[in-house]
Structure 1
Amino acid sequence: MHRSDVHARTAAAARVRRADDVLEMQRLARRGGIPVLLRRLAARAGADVLLMDSAGAMASPLQAPLGDAEGDLARRAVRELTVRGLKSVTIDHDGLTCIALPLDGPRGVCMPVLAAVFSQPTTSEVPLLLADASSALSLSWMTEHTRQQQCRLKLADARMREAVMHLLMNGQATVARQIAGTLRPALPATIRVYVIEGPPGVRNQVVEELSEAAERAWVVPCPVYAHHIFVLAPADSEADPGHAPQWTRSASLKAGCCIGVSDVVSLHDTATGYAQAFHALAAARHRTERQSSFTSNPDLALTIGPELATWARGFLAPVHAHRARRPQDPDGPELLATLASWLNFSSRATAHLKIHRNTLSARLAAIQKLLDLDLDRLADQAALALALRAIAPGSSAHPQHSAGLVPSLDELLQLPHVTAWADRQFRPLCAPVIPTCIPDTLATWLRLDARIAPTALALSLSTSAVRKRLARSESLLQRSLLRSPSAVHDLWLAQRSLDLTARKPAPA
């Protein structure tokens, strides 16, 4: 055969092999991404292949440990390529060869460098193989970079919305609206709060569907309960309150989700709306339609009146006057915010406040010392919860300056209208068809600081039996008892009011 024919056939075979390599690399880039592509390229070239940034740091995971000599040579090649602005560079040193090529990308994006280190002589096909691979690697890297940027944007949006919810829960609606101004939709002046509880693993899907269906509502995953979702929907005055919004009938919500709905509240009272929706959720779990609205009940702070704020400010004065001794220590307002979160969410306050459990314990210990209270006692918890509600931002209870003595909490609980309020709290449990064991178990549970095991011991029951009876009380009262935020503090205060006046709840 003539020499020119042999050369032509060899060149044709090389072109076919190169085309096959390009097609295979494109296929690997679509299916496996950068790690698979680098692994195949290393096997094909017989070299250590890696991606490095302009500073010489690894931009991709290595398939095998890289020797010191190979790593130094690769960093030297990348530095030479970056400093001199070359399209490619080849460096030989101590029997090693390094070929470095920059990946192509859009202007403004810092693309990594493809580096291949050989410990043996290379053929003329290897530089072409690396050049062809750089195109597929560039596309794969840009795809992964874009995906990471989208994930960061989603995470930043979620964190912003969570921060806005945190401010609203603390009554700081003005600051929350300023931050929310960069997001959509705008926060309305009056809202209904929805708390949605779904089966594990569906929350992300529900959040995405609701974000599209409820265009005017704020949809935020709950930072405390992994299977809960907040929805802040505008309360339109022209809307019919008897009909649920269209988005509540979406397919994702019908698949095992429960919905609790609050009354119409102002944006400043988001925390109150959340507590109402949470109590409604406890009732929704026992209903076939899996949805419940909050049954209106006068708030105890509003029932007592302005005198409560006067008592509350004196009760919490040591915490208000507290000043941090060190920059890293919490001051009075931060201690009160921690206390409010703990009373609402118990040990889950660490997730709500994004603090360590040891930090939470230290702050609670400081509050106990300042107020000379025992936070393990339900009586002290109930007093603190009532005091915080009385002086919360946006609260309608204002202190009245009086020259007389400040009334005690027991004196306030003995007021006739407060006793009437307390009587209404337990009335659903006093119907003739309700077994007496239900209210008796609840009363014992309140007396024993809302602890299941001592209640079971006192009643000679199992803990599961106590939980079942308390769950029955939840259904009748339409209030959450076993999960925080709980109505246990209001119930203890109601029981205290009845005990002080030696009254028993009237039957329904």
Structure 2
Amino acid sequence: MQRAARTGGSALLLRWLAGRTGAAVLLANRSGAPASAPPQPLGRAEHDLVLHGIREASARGLRSVTLDGEDLTCVVLPLDGPPGVRAPFLAAVAPRPVPPGLLLLLADAASGLSLCWQLERTRQQQRRIRDADARIREAVVHLLMNGQVTTARLVAGALRPALPDVMRLYVIEGPHTTRRAVADMWAKAVDGAWVVPCPVYASHLVVLAPADRATHVGMAVEPVWPPSVAENCCIGVSDPVPLRDTAIGYAQAFHALAAARHSAERRASFAGHPDLALIIGPAAQAWAAVFLAPLSAYRARRPQDPDSAELLATTASWLSFSSKATTHLKIHRNTLAARLTLVQRLLGLDLERLPDQAALALALRVIGAGIPAGPEDRTSDAGGRAPSLDGLLALPHVVMWAQRQFRPVRAPGVPVSIARTLTTWLRLDGRIVPTAAALSVSASAVRKRLERSEALLQRSLLRSPSAVHDQWLAQRALDLAEGSAAPRTASSAATAGT
């Protein structure tokens, strides 16, 4: 019995008892329901006899009860548990006459089963606590990425440590066992770090670490990684960002992770480029306000329907995570599709097209950045109306930004096919198969060239959050500057209009 309890716990010990005695053996709670899966199912007569025995033992406070049926005998013994906890009962139903020594054997087994049950209950409670802690931390990160900083601080107040005001985000990619080791290292080495399983990608770990630790002498900024972590994991690191910009920090760390996959060190920091919304300046605010006006003015007809703010959050999540927005937002895919259909109808866009996605992504970033509108914008037309997107992309400083975006793939020594593949892929709505057909190469060749582009640009292109929207806007700006802009379809004309 001791050997069975040590190696297999209560389940193996119950199977041993059933095989040794020939009786139907189980652990049952006060309602008669099995507290664990019994070695063999009980018949109706056996279940009724067990339930009767448990009621007798509970009502009379007995340490053992033996009941005889027509051709069955039931023995019920309560297990020992911690104070204030109702332990289950050990019940055995055997054909009459009772096998010799059954009562003594069950009494001896009750002691081992009590210890097994208490240990298993403790482990189950520990798992529940760990799961609850992980879910709360995931909810806090979810709130932060949606800009709900005040609510996130309230929820995080139940846990430790407190959320940092300025932080760096780390996205760590690797196998499950290595990620668990990384999480333990962070918790021990860095005071104030939040370690959370990624709410979108199962193979990623997200770490929110205080960015001001470097200013304090003797405080670790990040753990010293052992060789096993360096070999099995890739690590992307963001710039220091305020708490309200968690979504931006996550995107930066994700782009850095794409660069880390192609780096010998398997670790990379975000290679900062000025954000296009900030490059354009106040003119972008005027354009974005007009572009999003139908969506901002939307009012839900029914209380259960999403309002304007919820539609904006859903759209931003979909643009960042594509189909994985269902995981990020914890909604059904049909709910996501219905909301996107409504957004398309309100804005007159076709979100299957990359030009419309890029314009919408830029508008949402402009609104989120809170850029103040200028008193008079030189890009407005004679009637004082807001500028078009093409008008903004044609600005000289925007063209310079676009040239910097493509400079790594057009540098000397880089095969011409890399830039040609990237440009063709952007013009064909970021689709692999049409790009392969247009270039007369295989789909795998297109994918390998885009992976090379990721390493050169230090940006993620094939997995969300992707830099594909920025790259399309940069390509459009260069096309306008060269006077070779492709004609627009009816849907994409909306991206340039006021």
TM-score by length of 2: 0.90
Tell me if 1:50 matches 2:30: no
8 Å contact from structure 1 (residues 222, 229) kept in 2: yes
SS of 1:178's equivalent in the other structure is: helix
Which residue does 1:112 correspond to in 2?
88
8 Å contact from structure 2 (residues 214, 221) kept in 1: no
Which residue does 2:116 correspond to in 1?
140
Tell me if 1:397 matches 2:371: yes
Which residue does 1:227 correspond to in 2?
203
8 Å contact from structure 2 (residues 197, 204) kept in 1: yes
Which of 148, 156, 177 lines up with 1:172 in the alignment? Answer: 148
Tell me if 1:378 matches 2:354: yes
Aligned mates of 2:269, 2:134 — CA distance in 1: 27
Q: Deviations over 1:137-195 (max 9, x none)?
A: 11000110000000000001111111111111112222212211221221111111111
CA separation of 1:406/1:246 partners in 2, compared to 1, >3 Å: closer, same or farther?
closer
CA separation of 1:252/1:417 partners in 2, compared to 1, >3 Å: closer, same or farther?
same
Which residue does 1:30 correspond to in 2?
6
Deviation, 1:46, is 3.0
Letter in structure 2 aligned against 1:414: A
Aligned mates of 2:442, 2:33 — CA distance in 1: 61
Tell me if 1:87 matches 2:59: no
Aligned mates of 2:355, 2:258 — CA distance in 1: 24
Which residue does 1:362 correspond to in 2?
338
TM-score by length of 1: 0.88
Which residue does 1:63 correspond to in 2?
39
Which residue does 1:255 correspond to in 2?
231
8 Å contact from structure 1 (residues 96, 119) kept in 2: yes
Which residue does 1:9 correspond to in 2?
none
Aligned mates of 1:385, 1:248 — CA distance in 2: 38
Gaps of 5+ in 1: 1-24
Which of 172, 178, 191 lines up with 1:196 in the alignment? Answer: 172
Aligned mates of 2:206, 2:346 — CA distance in 1: 34
* Higher gyration radius (CA): 1
Deviation, 1:136, is 0.7
Which residue does 1:303 correspond to in 2?
279
8 Å contact from structure 1 (residues 52, 114) kept in 2: yes
Which of 461, 471, 489 lines up with 1:491 in the alignment? Answer: 471
Deviation, 1:208, is 2.5
Matches within 5 A, 1:326-365: 326-365=302-341
Tell me if 1:439 matches 2:415: no
Aligned mates of 1:51, 1:325 — CA distance in 2: 54
Aligned mates of 2:305, 2:446 — CA distance in 1: 41
CA separation of 1:120/1:381 partners in 2, compared to 1, >3 Å: closer, same or farther?
same
Tell me if 1:419 matches 2:399: yes
Letter in structure 2 aligned against 1:134: A
SS of 1:66's equivalent in the other structure is: coil
Which residue does 1:463 correspond to in 2?
443
Deviation, 1:388, is 1.4
What is the number of equivalent residue pairs in this alignment? 476
Aligned mates of 2:353, 2:474 — CA distance in 1: 16
Letter in structure 2 aligned against 1:176: A
Aligned mates of 1:278, 1:483 — CA distance in 2: 9
Which of 407, 410, 418 lines up with 1:430 in the alignment? Answer: 410
Which of 182, 197, 200 lines up with 1:206 in the alignment? Answer: 182
Letter in structure 1 aligned against 2:159: L
Aligned mates of 1:224, 1:275 — CA distance in 2: 12
8 Å contact from structure 1 (residues 340, 385) kept in 2: yes
8 Å contact from structure 1 (residues 302, 396) kept in 2: no
Q: Deviations over 1:437-485 (max 9, x none)?
A: 2211111110000001000100111111111211221122111111111
Letter in structure 1 aligned against 2:400: A
8 Å contact from structure 1 (residues 281, 291) kept in 2: yes
Letter in structure 1 aligned against 2:119: T
Q: Deviations over 1:197-225 (max 9, x none)?
A: 22465322322233222332111121222
CA separation of 1:255/1:476 partners in 2, compared to 1, >3 Å: closer, same or farther?
closer
Matches within 5 A, 1:273-288: 273-288=249-264
SS of 1:219's equivalent in the other structure is: strand
Letter in structure 1 aligned against 2:479: D
Which residue does 1:121 correspond to in 2?
97
8 Å contact from structure 1 (residues 281, 292) kept in 2: yes
Deviation, 1:380, is 0.9
Letter in structure 2 aligned against 1:475: A
8 Å contact from structure 2 (residues 230, 265) kept in 1: no
Gaps of 5+ in 2: 377-382, 485-498
SS of 2:66's equivalent in the other structure is: strand
8 Å contact from structure 1 (residues 262, 273) kept in 2: yes
Letter in structure 2 aligned against 1:454: P
